[in-house]
């Protein structure tokens, strides 16, 4: 948990309806998060799948299902809603990605603290 804001990227670095991977400090470690843009908003989630606690990706920015507006875990194909990270299809239905607090100031995207 931290009190300061941590700059992640500019809002326009994330295409509408797309995702971007970001790294944030957590004590002496670093965690990756998934940023999802919806209009002028950005949702942030820990990049850890609730199925096996593994990263959803294999080091890429694209977490989206190619034909559906859903975040996809590439390990076992769980699908999560962009707005709240709830799994709606796959091996962990009903579980959710952990939300992280995102702030946007002057079109810059910041991580503030875990929710
Ligand atoms: S680890 Fe994500 S669906 Fe299995």
pLDDT band for position 8 (cuts 50, 70, 90) = very high
From the CA of 53, give the closest atom in ligand 1: 1
75 pLDDT higher than 80: yes
Cβ neighbours of 15 (radius 10 Å):
10
* 89 Cα to the center of ligand 1, angstroms: 11
Using a 6 Å CB cutoff, which residues line ligand 1?
49, 51-52, 54, 73, 75-76, 78, 90-91
For the chain, what percent of residues have pLDDT higher than 70?
95
Answer for the pair 4, 113: CB distance below 8 angstroms, yes or no.
no
Answer for the pair 34, 42: CB distance below 8 angstroms, yes or no.
no
Q: How far apart are CA 47 and CA 43, in angstroms?
A: 12
Q: Tokens 């709240």 sit at which residue?
A: 84
pLDDT attached to residue 102: 94
pLDDT attached to residue 26: 73
CATH topology for the 6-114 domain: Rieske Iron-sulfur Protein (2.102.10)
By most ligand atoms within 8 Å of CB, the mutation choice from 47, 48, 49 for ligand 1 is 49
Share the mean pLDDT of the chain: 90
User: Is the model more confident about 62 or about 89?
Assistant: 89
Mean pLDDT confidence for 90-113: 94
pLDDT attached to residue 3: 60
20 pLDDT higher than 60: yes
**3: alpha, beta or left, given left = phi > 0 and alpha = psi -120 to 50?**
alpha
pLDDT attached to residue 2: 47
30-55 burial code (b ≥16 CB/10 A, e <16): ebebbbbbeeeebbbbbbbbbbeeeb
Nearest CA to ligand 1 atom 3: 76
């Amino acid at each position: 948990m931290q009190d300061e804001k941590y700059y992640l990227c500019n809002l326009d670095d994330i295409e509408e309806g797309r995702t971007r991977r970001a790294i944030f400090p957590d004590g002496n470690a670093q965690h990756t998060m998934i940023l999802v843009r919806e209009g002028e908003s950005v949702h942030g989630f820990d990049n850890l799948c609730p199925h096996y606690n593994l990263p959803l990706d294999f080091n890429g920015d694209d977490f989206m299902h190619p034909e559906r507006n859903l975040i996809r875990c590439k390990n076992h194909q769980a699908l999560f809603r962009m707005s709240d990270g709830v799994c709606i299809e796959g091996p962990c239905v009903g579980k959710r990605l952990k939300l992280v607090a995102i702030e946007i100031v002057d079109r810059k995207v910041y991580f503030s603290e875990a929710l």
